[in-house]
Amino acid sequence: LKLIDLKNHIDKKFDIPVSNQRLICRGRTLVGDEMLLNSFNFKPGEKIMIMGNRRDDPRLVHSMNVLHEIEKHSIAGFSKKLREFTDEVDGIAKGYLPDNLVDQAVDKLTHKSLFLNEECMKAMEKMDALSLGDAKLESARLKRKSLINQIQNILQSTDYQMQNLHEFLERRQEEK
């Protein structure tokens, strides 16, 4: 048997492509695919360390791509919209807006809040639609959990800002 035969066997058994394999025995890398295994002078019970990456599961690749797109585009956009929303609420609460424009601005902010919440929910539904039940998809599950936590934080912040806005409106009504 040749070294390439051993590598092919490892490919079949452990799903590590031959091109990704690196075999190490006694601190030395085994090279020369056409060399006979006898030429390496293996001793009985000797261990060979296999280094390499397994083939990526196509479902994992697809799931990670979807999650990456959500993280890259949606989460960043949600965070930006939340910052803008927070700045507008703070401006109204600090009295920077004339009284005659406050009601119109509150309606606009309420609409923005609802729209942001709806976008967040759509992103969570998109992530929830991914089937990640297989043990091979653990990294995708962890990524999804992280993204959902980020979205939930954005939703909580939006709710908190809306609560602050309504408290401001109540104080304003009491002053009148």
Render each residue's pLDDT in the chain as its tens digit; 176 residues. 889 999 999 988 888 888 888 999 999 999 888 999 888 888 888 999 999 887 677 778 888 899 999 999 899 999 999 999 999 999 988 888 888 898 899 999 999 999 999 999 999 999 988 877 776 678 888 999 999 999 999 999 999 999 999 998 898 888 86
- The token pair that represents 151 in the structure block: 């979205």
Domain 3-51 class, CATH top level: alpha beta
pLDDT tens across 99-148, in order? 889 889 999 999 999 999 999 999 999 998 887 777 667 888 899 999 99
Q: Measuring CA to CA, how many Å separate 115 from each of 11, 85, 122? A: 50, 11, 11
Report residue 73: phi and psi, to 5°. Answer: -95, -55
Per DSSP, 22 falls in state: E
CATH 1.20.58.120 residue ranges of the chain are: 58-175
Q: With a threshold of 0.75, does the pTM exceed it?
A: no
Residue 87: the pLDDT is 94
Closest CA to 163 of 64, 86, 66: 86
Distance CA 131, CA 129 (A): 6
Distance CA 42, CA 1 (A): 13
Is residue 171 within a helix (H) or strand (E), and if so which, with residue range?
A: helix 138-175
CATH 3.10.20.90 residue ranges of the chain are: 3-51
Residue 121: the pLDDT is 95
User: What is 87-126 written as a DSSP string?
Assistant: HHHHHHHTT-S-HHHHHHHHHHHHHHHHHHHHHHHHHHHH
Residue 135: the pLDDT is 67
Domain 58-175 = CATH 3.40.50.300:
no
Distance CA 100, CA 117 (A): 27
